[in-house]
Amino acid sequence: MTDRITTMGQSLGYGASSAQRNKVLRNTYWLLALSLVPTVLGAWVGVATGITQSLGGIMGMVVFLAGAFGFIYAIEKTKNSAAGVPVLLGFTFFMGLMLSRLIGHVLGFRNGAELVFTAFGGTAGVFLVMASLASVIKRDLSGMGKWLFVGTIVLLVGGVINAFVGSTAGMMAMSMAAIGIFSAYMLYDIKQIIDGGETNYISATLALYLDIINVFQSLLALLGIFGGERD
C-alpha cells in the first residue's frame, strides 16, 4: 500500500507513438508475469523457514517500509539501465517474503490453501476486468491520479494507527477500501500506458505489481477473517 505512493508524479509522455505504446504495454505484461515467479519463491521461503513470523506490529511495518522504499528508490534509479529488471525482481522476492506472514497465517486454517487460491483467482479476475476496461474507455483518466493518491495516504495513516490498535474491524475496513482503491489504480495505470502517459516498462511494471499485490493481500486478509475454518 505505502509503496504505491512513491510511484506517483512520474513524467507524462503523451507524444509516444502507437507502436511505442504497444511495445511498452507488451513488455510490461511480460515482466509483470515474470515478477510473480520470485514473489511466489519469496513467499515459499518465508512460509517454509518462518523467517518473517516475528515481524508483527510496528517492527514489521518498519522493516517493510525500509525495505520497500529502498528497493523502489533503487528501481527508479536503474529503470533505464540493464540493472533495472534484476532490481525489480529482487523487490518482488522481498515482497513475497513480506507476504509470507499473512499467507502462513491463512494456511493455518483447515481450508487455507483454498483461500490462498481464491484470493489469487479473485485478483486475476480484477486485473482482467480492469485491463479490458482500460482498452475500451476513450476518455482521459489522468485526473483520477490525485484522488487515488489521497486515498492511498488515508490508507497509510489508517494502517499506522491500526498497527498500534490491532483492531480486526479496522483491518476489515482498510482491506475493503484497499481493494477498491488499488483496483481503480490498475485501471488508471494500464490506461496511462495505453495513452502514452508511461513510457518506461519497468516503472509501469512496478506500478501494476504494487496494485496487484495490494489487492491480493487485502482479499486474502478478508477471506481469512470471514472464511477461515479452524480445526
**Sign, CA torsion 143/148/153/158:** positive
Q: What is the pLDDT of residue 30?
A: 96
Is the pLDDT assigned to residue 7 strictly greater than 60?
Answer: no
**Which sequence spans correspond to the domains of the chain?**
2-227
CA atoms in the 13 A half-sphere facing the CB of 34: 17
Residues 34-90 have pLDDT tens digits of 999 999 999 999 999 988 877 766 777 788 888 999 999 999 999 999 899 999 999
Residues 164-174 have pLDDT tens digits of 777 778 788 88
For the stretch 135-170, what's the b/e string if a residue is b when 16 or more beta carbons lie within 10 angstroms of its beta carbon? eeeeeebeeebeebbebbeebbebbeebbeeeeeee
The backbone torsions φ and ψ at residue 65, rounded to the nearest 5 degrees and listed phi first, read -65, -45
Answer yes or no: are the C-beta atoms of 219 and 172 closer than 8 Å. Answer: no
